[in-house]
Chain A
Amino acid sequence: MIRFDSVGYTYPGAGAPALAALDFSLAPGEMVVLLGANGSGKSTLARLTNGLLLPASGSVTVDGASTQDASTIYDIRTRVGMVFQRPDDQIVATSVEDDVAFGPENIGLAPDEIRARVDEALAQTGLVGLEDREPHLLSGGQKQRLAVAGALAMRPRYLVADEPTSMIDPVGRREVLDLLERVRSAGYGVLLITHSVADARSADRVVVLSRGESAFEGSYVELVRDPAWLAEWGLEVPRIVEFGSKLRAQGVAAPGPRSIPQEMAVALWR
């Protein structure tokens, strides 16, 4: 379990805290989607999960170990894999398989063990066959899947993805979201950070950050029930949800807010 207890963080030189008295948790096997407008503190929260940033007040623990304990920090970073927003700026090596190997190489594993983990991670992320490809020749979706593979090769328990889909095309976005759902089903704890409310559809739990504070915690259906909240937090109501509620207001039996466009279309056709 990743656990935040009343965590506060202020960037050096910044006036207002980026996070204030935040409680948060992520368990293996669940997918939590973290929503929030730009500057609401999402990336700050992400970087606190694996000790890239250390809390100024309160504490962050991963499976019981504090991120402030220097002796366990690398253990924590192997447990918490991280995927970042910009596809190009997180790929280190000059070929796909070397990039997947980067983490295992850093923790000094034997070559055979690295090989096994690389092959496993490539299979998990659907990148088999692209081992020797140079990363700049991959599509946006492939690059982000490669970033996921690099994290999985560390055999983590949690995966934190900070807006992994905001800079790639819709096809790549779908690939990455599907992959994250599979990763969750495989038992990893997944924290998906996004500012697109629609991406939260398959979340077990949704948390909304607003100005460094937790403004909402609950299910997706609860979240989209009141569009006024969303606006206040700087989030957009997904079109399909808006469309469905308008139809229902007109007395049409439209499917619920979790539905995807195909389901909506099929239901209306009937």
Chain B
Amino acid sequence: MSAPVPMGTYVIGNSFVHRLDARVKIVIGIAFAVALFILGEWWALGVVAFAAIGVFVLSGVSARLAVRGLRPALWLLAFTVVINALAPAGAGSAAPVPAFVGIGQPEALVRVGLITFYPSGLARGLFFATRVLILVFGASLVTLTTSSVAIADAFAYVLRPLAVLRFPVDDAAMMMSIALRFMPVTAEEAERIVTAQIARGAQFSSGSPFRRARAWLPVFVPLFVRLFRRADDLAVAMEARCYRGQGRTRLRQLRMRPTDWMVLVAGCAAAAFLAVYG
């Protein structure tokens, strides 16, 4: 049993997807995320899923790594499906309902013991779950094919317009970069603590879900204590290196190539189309 691997740690590569400007990946990612939440047709969902799988194939990332990022989300999604199935998809709900379930029409209910399941609710739950699954898959595709440096730089750039709204853009970019820097460090540390706990007889993968959840408590407490101490140390180290949150310049200047522009325009157009017609 190992600690949860942070979603999509960068895998060095030189595919078309790897070389794409990180800003383009992030903007298209956001565009598709928005589209996913607007669209309400199964076919549109299918198109997005197909596109995501296409990008995955292009990237040459191993399937094992791509799927690993999905695992933590699966429990939550199964829960979503079951909860949704407990109520019919009503006309009043914002949930998109696949066409094959006639809204308002009497539907054949499925009873299991005392519990009644509604096929329309089940369909809605599946729709939600698929949507989130695609979203998580897409996000891990971005992080798998983009170095932390590129992501941090790109975020700093993409956030820049928000400065007009007095959003602390530089601070947010710095936080992003530090989060990316300490994700693997924290994961390693969690793994160390888990190993130590297993040596003391802790059970992470057997027993009731409640017991398993409780086994994680002695992992998270020391982990958080260490994180706070790290934060203190890091703040001092940053201060010693003249960090003051403003007036920073950057080593790297970002430059868009023609292909980056083309992909950006095509990707955003596709997302807009799906949002409007899907």
The interface of chain A, by Cβ under 8 A from chain B, is 47, 50, 52, 74, 77-78, 82, 84, 86, 88-95, 97-98, 101-111, 114-115, 118, 132, 134-136, 150-151, 154
Q: Chain B's nearest CB lies how many Å from the CB of A79?
A: 11
User: Which label, helix, strand, loop or mixed, suits the secondary structure of the B interface?
Assistant: helix
Complexed CA–CA distance, A95 and B253 (Å): 16
Complexed CA–CA distance, A52 and B242 (Å): 11
Q: Chain A's nearest CB lies how many Å from the CB of B152?
A: 6
Q: Which residues of A contact B242 (CB under 8 A)?
A: 74, 77-78, 103, 106-107, 154
Q: Which residues of A contact B229 (CB under 8 A)?
A: 89
Q: Chain B's nearest CB lies how many Å from the CB of A166?
A: 14
Complexed CA–CA distance, A98 and B248 (Å): 13
Please tell me which one of the listed residues B180, B188, B236, B253 contacts residue A94 in the complex, with CB atoms under 8 A apart: B180
Q: B252, A92: Cβ atoms under 8 Å? A: no
Complexed CA–CA distance, A94 and B234 (Å): 14
Complexed CA–CA distance, A131 and B50 (Å): 37
Complexed CA–CA distance, A88 and B231 (Å): 11
Complexed CA–CA distance, A77 and B242 (Å): 6
| B41-59 contact mask (Cβ, 8 Å, vs A): 1 or 0 | 0000000000000000000
Which residues between 220 and 278 of chain B lie within 8 Å of chain A, taking CB atoms?
229-230, 233-234, 236-244, 247-253
Q: Which residues of B contact A115 (CB under 8 A)?
A: 251
Q: B239, A52: Cβ atoms under 8 Å? A: yes
Please tell me which one of the listed residues B230, B239, B251 contacts residue A98 in the complex, with CB atoms under 8 A apart: B251
Given contacts A50-B240, A78-B242, A84-B233, contact A92 B177 (CB under 8 A): yes
Given contacts A78-B242, A92-B237, A136-B188, contact A111 B252 (CB under 8 A): yes
The chain A residue with its CB closest to the CB of B153 is A98
Q: Which residues of A contact B249 (CB under 8 A)?
A: 104-105, 108-111, 114
User: Which label, helix, strand, loop or mixed, suits the secondary structure of the A interface?
Assistant: helix
Q: Chain A's nearest CB lies how many Å from the CB of B51?
A: 28
In the assembled complex, 22 residue pairs joining A and B whose CB atoms fall closer than 8 Å, in A order, are A50-B240, A52-B240, A74-B242, A74-B244, A78-B242, A82-B241, A84-B237, A89-B234, A90-B237, A92-B178, A92-B181, A92-B234, A94-B152, A98-B251, A105-B248, A105-B249, A106-B248, A111-B251, A111-B252, A114-B249, A136-B181, A136-B185
Q: B149, A94: Cβ atoms under 8 Å? A: yes
Q: A106, B148: Cβ atoms under 8 Å? A: no
Q: Chain A's nearest CB lies how many Å from the CB of B206?
A: 31
Q: Chain B's nearest CB lies how many Å from the CB of A156?
A: 10
Q: B238, A92: Cβ atoms under 8 Å? A: yes
The chain B residue with its CB closest to the CB of A94 is B148
Q: Does B203 contact A (CB under 8 A)?
A: no
The chain B residue with its CB closest to the CB of A153 is B241
Q: Does B195 contact A (CB under 8 A)?
A: no
Q: B251, A108: Cβ atoms under 8 Å? A: no
Q: Does B184 contact A (CB under 8 A)?
A: yes
